[in-house]
Structure 1
Amino acid sequence: MSDLRTSGLLLELDGVCAAYGRIQALSGVSLKMAAGSIVALLGGNGAGKTTTLNTISRLVPLTSGTIRFEGQPIDRLASHQVVKAGISQVPEGREVFRDMSVRENLDMGAYGRSDASGVRADIERAFGYFPVLKERLKQKAGTLSGGEQQMLLIARALMARPRLLLLDEPSLGLSPVLVQKIFDIIARLHADGLSILLVEQNAAVALAASQYAYILENGEIVLEGASEALRQDDSVRRTYLGS
């Protein structure tokens, strides 16, 4: 496999710093991601994983550094412009619009699109990945199970037709059976050409699903490499894989 840091570059963060007030959250984070890949961001609670995704999405401002997507700088864009550029984020914590129906949530994912026939086609495509959502179409999103809400979040993000999907903790709070189902769908999306930047606390699952990975500690990249090589690294096994 070619080096994911240099082949068909899709996303590049160079020396990215971000802060919440006086609290430094990211310190010089640099990473590269090839088109057509799944790249994992690993680390403990508070390591800066979600902040990295939120910074890419422009939900958290940079204090320094640059972000480029498909060779173009995006670190000065507004968050809706990042979506329009081709990046969608699936937030952690089941952040569905709870009082809206499944269909209304999907429509919100297509906000800003004016191609009604394309939106209808993309909804049908989402049902191909998540058949249960078709059965729940008129049901309020807040009444769905945890697994169904996670599926809805991913489907909603797909409605913007992204080329890069930012996935934040998709396995959080799910049973092992549902985790496997979600990651089977992630594998299908990847096989269909979607690039995915995956934040996941379950390091074993993330390394199995990805081709390349970065490990964050205290807002800094401390280790990177091919996912299979990291799975065999003794320090990674002790710290993140429990072995």
Structure 2
Amino acid sequence: MPELLSLRDVSAAYGRIQALSHVSLSVPEGAIVALLGANGAGKSTTLNVISRLVPQSGGEILFRGASIAARASHEVVRAGIAQVPEGREVFREMSVRENLELGAHLRRDARGVAEDVERAFAYFPVLRERYRQRAGTLSGGEQQMLLIARALMARPALLLLDEPSLGLSPLLVQQIFGIIRRINEDGTTILLVEQNVGVALGCSSYAYILENGEIAHHGPSASLAADGAVQNAYLGGH
């Protein structure tokens, strides 16, 4: 499969604190790729650098073969990359409908937006039931569904998911990841940051492990899941 996204020796820092150091990874078109590691390893920073929310201090980021280093964050969304942030960052005082509309704010194709609202409801039927409800009154699982649906309203080629299972019950985690697989099967490439190692390796085809801002190990997800030494060294023995 051709590469949709490629990071080549990417570095980033917060002031004097080096957050990423020479990170290289690739995401083939049509794949689910997992980015794993402990808290503070640099996983969310990697997604934020791709989204241009955090500037890189070195290296190169290519999307569809072209550099996105000089692009603003809204230009990256327009190019086809959407991020689902960690932490249930819905617009709490706005309705589900208004949150979805904000996800499509860069688009001018009203008919396509209406079709994508229906697509979101097909993935997340509960959002149709909550359409006029304030987002802040949704459950944690429903808010996570809304975040993913809102990102899909930009009709991205690449979806960046940051800890979609955080704080959810095992049943909801299973449900959310079933939908993530469907989204991927329907043609959206996914780069997944996830601390639930078993779920992430079971969902993805390839995985990278970050340690202290550097790629410590990478390989096919099935191989990493079966490698006890890798599990114990980098993934807490999960």
Query: 2: CA distance between counterparts of 1:202 and 1:109?
Result: 27
Matched with 1:4 is none
Give the CA deviation at 1:33: 1.2
Instruction: Select 1:153's aligned residue among 147, 150, 161.
Output: 147
1:233 is matched with: 227
1:104 aligns with 2:98: yes
Match of 1:28 among 5, 22, 26: 22
Q: Which residue of 1 aligns with 2:237?
A: 242
2:35 corresponds to which of 38, 41, 47:
41
Give the distance between the partners of 2:123 and 2:62, measured in 1 at CA. 30
- What is the one-letter code of the residue matched to 2:127? L
Output the CA distance in 2 between the equivalents of 1:31 and 1:242.
24
Structure 1: give runs of 5+ residues left out of the alignment: 1-6
**How big is the shift at 1:75?**
1.3
- Distance in 1 (alpha carbons) for counterparts of 2:183 and 2:112: 18
SS at match of 1:17: strand
Give secondary structure in 2 for the equivalent of 1:62: coil
Quote the offset at 1:114 in angstroms: 1.1
Partner in structure 1 of residue 170 of structure 2: 176
Shift of 1:238: 2.1
SS at match of 1:60: coil
Match of 1:68 in 2: 62
Amino acid at match of 2:74: H
- Per-residue deviation at 1:118? 1.1
Residue 82 (1) aligns with residue 76 (2): yes
Q: Which residue matches 1:186?
A: 180
Q: Paired residue for 2:120?
A: 126
- In structure 1, how many angstroms separate the alpha carbons of the residues matched to 2:24 and 2:231? 23
CA contact (8 A) 1:38 1:196 kept: yes
Partner of 2:198: 204
**Percent identity, aligned pairs only?**
68
The answer to whether the 8 Å contact 1:204/1:241 transfers is no
Compute the RMSD of aligned alpha carbons. Answer: 0.8
Q: Distance in 1 between matches of 2:188 and 2:107?
A: 20
The structural deviation recorded for 1:55 is 0.2
Instruction: Normalising by structure 2, report the TM-score.
Output: 0.98
Secondary structure of 1:84's counterpart equals: helix
The two structures have a TM-score, normalised by structure 1, of 0.96
**Matched-pair contact (CA < 8 Å) for 2:228–2:237:** no
Q: Tell me, yes or no, if the aligned pair for 1:203 and 1:241 is still in contact at 8 Å.
A: no
SS of aligned partner of 2:45: helix
CA distance in structure 1 between the partners assigned to 2:212 and 2:237 by the alignment: 20
Distance 1:196 1:182 in 2: 14
Distance across 2 between alignment mates of 1:119 and 1:206: 30
CA distance in 1, matches of 2:237, 2:174: 19
- Aligned partner of 2:44 in structure 1 is 50
